[in-house]
Amino acid sequence: MWFYIKLAWRNIFRNKRRTLIAGIAIAIGLASLILSDAFMIGMENNIVKSATASFLGEAQIHGDGFRETQEVEITVRNFDEVITKLNQEEIVDKFTPRTLSFGMVTSPADVSSVLLVGVAPETEIHLSQIDEAVNRGSYFTGDDNHDIIIGSKLAEILEVSLGDRLVVTVAQAETGDLSQELFRISGIYHFNMKEMDSGMAFIRLEKAQQMLGIGSRVHEIAIKFKDKTYAVQEELPFWETYSQGGNEAVSWTKLLPQLKAFFDMTGISLFVMCLILASVVVFGIINTLFMSLYERMFEFGVLRAVGTRAAGVRKLVIFEAGALGIVSIILGVILGFVSTLLFTKTGIDYRGIEFAGTTIKDMLYPEMNVLQFIIYPIGVFIFMLIVGLYPAFVAGRMSIADALRKSL
C-alpha cells in the first residue's frame, strides 16, 4: 500500500506542468466553494441581523391568533407570569413588551395609515435599533407621553418635521370606538427599509395601552437570545413552554418564512454550484489521468508483466488521482483562504438591497469557519478518488501484451 502511495505521489510530479494546470483548475473550484460558502454564511447572518436586530427580535410571544388576525383584542395571556418566567430563562438575554395596532396619522397636509407600535423605551433599545436610527430629534427622552417617533419617509408623506404635531387615531379593543390623541414629533428615524420608514410610528407603551383600552396588556413580547442559534433550534423546550395557555412563541424563521425559504434556496444554489463545478472539473481530471495513463501504457504493461495484479494497477491509478487531489486541495485551500480573507477586509457593499423582503443594512462580509476548510477539501478528495475509478478500471482491464506492444 505505502509503496503504491509513494509511487503515485512521485508519478504525478513526472509532468509538473500538467499536474499544476489540472491542480489549479481543481483548486479554483475548491476556492470558489469556500468563498461562496463564506459569502452565504456572511449574507445569511447579515440578513438575519438586519431582519431581527432592526425591530423584529429573534423570537416573539403573542396571544394565539394575533399573528394571523392582528386583532387588538388578542393580547399575550398571563402576561405577568410570562414576564416572570422570561426573567428566569437562562437562554434569554433581553426582552421587551409591545403593543401593535393599525392606526391613522394625520398632519395638516396629509393622512397616512401606519402600524402604531407602543414600546417600553428602556427595554426596547436592547431589542431594536430604533434609537440608533433616529437621525433627527431624540429617542424618547424625558417622560412626555405625547412623544411620537416616525420614519423619514412618513415625515415626507405627511410633510412634517421635528416638533410638528400629529393626530393619531386608533380603534379601541372590544368596543371598536375610535380613540384620538395629539402627539408631537420628538424623533425621526431612517432605517433605509421602506416598510419601516414609511409605515410605522412609535409611541410609549402606556400611552398605546391607554388609547387601545387594553389596560396593562401587550400584543407582543420580542425576545433576544444569549446565542442567536437558539432561534433556529426547534427542539428547544423554550418554544413549548411559551406556547401554552393561549400564547404562541415563534422564532424569526416562522415570522419571516420567506427568509427561511430564501436561505434554503441559497443552500440548494450552493449545492447546484458544487455539481456544476464538479462536472466541469471531472472531465479535466479524467483527461489528465487518461493522458498520464496512455503515456505510460508500456510502464503499466511492465508492472503487470512482472506480477502486479490488476487490483494493484487500479490502486496505483486511484492513488495518483488522490495525490493530484492533495496537490489541488493544498492550492485550493490557500487560494480559498486568501480570497476569503481579502473579502473579509474589503467587504461587499450590498447596503440598501432587499433580499426576501429584508433590506441589507450593513456591509456584507464573508465569514470563514473551520468546517469550510475541512468539509470541502475532504469532499474534493473523495470526489477525486471516485473520478479516478474510471481510469483505474480501464488500467486494470488493459491487455498486457497490447500495453507492451503500444510503446515499442
Partner 1 sequence: MSNKMKNEANIIVTKNIKKNYRDNGIEVPAVRGIDLTIKPGEFAAIVGPSGSGKTTFLNVISGLDSATEGKVWLKGKLLTDMKGKELSDFRRDHIGFIFQSYNLIPVLTVEENVEYIMLLQGVDKAERHRRVLEILKEVGLEEYADRLPPKLSGGQQQRVAIARAMVSRPSLILADEPTANLDSKTGAGLLDMMKELNKKTGMTFIFSTHDEMVMKRARRVITLKDGRIAGDETKK
Q: What mask of x and - would describe binding to partner 1 in positions 258 to 297, judged by CB under 8 A? A: ----------------------------------------
Residues 6+ apart with CB under 8 A from 118: 98, 99, 100, 202, 203, 204, 205, 206, 207, 208, 209, 212, 218
**Is 393 a binder of partner 1 (CB under 8 A)?**
no
Q: Which of 291, 348, 394, 400 binds partner 1 (CB under 8 A)?
A: 400
Q: How far apart are the C-alpha atoms of 70 and 73, rounded to whole Å?
A: 9
CA distance 180 to 211: 7
Query: What is the smallest separation between the CB atom of 393 and partner 1, expressed in angstroms?
Result: 15
Q: Does 398 bind partner 1 (CB under 8 A)?
A: no
Tell me the C-alpha distance between 135 and 150, whole Å: 11
For partner 1, the binding residue among 239, 290, 294, 298 (CB under 8 A) is 298
98 phi, psi to nearest 5 deg: -145, 155
CB of 330 to partner 1, least distance (A): 20
Q: Which of 199, 312, 347, 357 binds partner 1 (CB under 8 A)?
A: 312
Cα–Cα distance list, 172 to 51, 72, 221, 362 (Å) = 29, 8, 20, 38
Q: How far is the CB of 394 from partner 1 (least distance, A)?
A: 17
Does the footprint of partner 1 cover residue 308 (CB under 8 A)?
Answer: yes
- Could you tell me how many residues of this chain bind partner 1 (CB under 8 A)? 25
Binding segment toward partner 1, per CB under 8 A, in 34-42, 175-183, 303-311, 350-358: 303-311
Shortest spacing between CB 11 and partner 1, in angstroms:
6
Q: Which three cell numbers stand for residue 133?
A: 436610527
Interaction between residue 401 and partner 1 (CB under 8 A) = yes
Q: Cβ of residue 264: shortest distance to partner 1, in angstroms?
A: 49
- Is 232 or 404 the residue whose CB approaches partner 1 more closely? 404
The answer to whether residue 307 forms part of the interface with partner 1 (CB under 8 A) is yes
Give which of 335, 332, 334, 338 is closest to 379, Cα–Cα: 332
Among 44, 156, 206, 299, the residue binding partner 1 under the rule CB under 8 A is 299
Among 122, 142, 279, 306, binds partner 1 (CB under 8 A): 306
φ/ψ (deg, to 5) at 381 = -65, -45
Task: Decide whether 18 or 184 has the Cβ nearer to partner 1.
Answer: 18
Q: Report the residue number, 10 or 194, with the smaller CB distance to partner 1.
A: 10
> Is position 315 an interface residue for partner 1 (rule: CB under 8 A)?
no
Stretch that binds partner 1, among 125-133, 230-238, 378-386, 393-401 (CB under 8 A): 393-401
x-or-dash string of contact with partner 1, 4-43, rule CB under 8 A: ---x--xx-xx-----------------------------
Residues 339-378 within binding reach of partner 1 (CB under 8 A): none
CA distances from 132 to 54, 83, 93, 189, 289 (A): 9, 26, 20, 8, 59
Q: Smallest Cα–Cα separation from 277: which of 197, 208, 379?
A: 379
Interface residues with partner 1 (CB under 8 A) are 3, 7, 10-11, 13-14, 298-299, 302-310, 312, 399-401, 404-405, 407-408
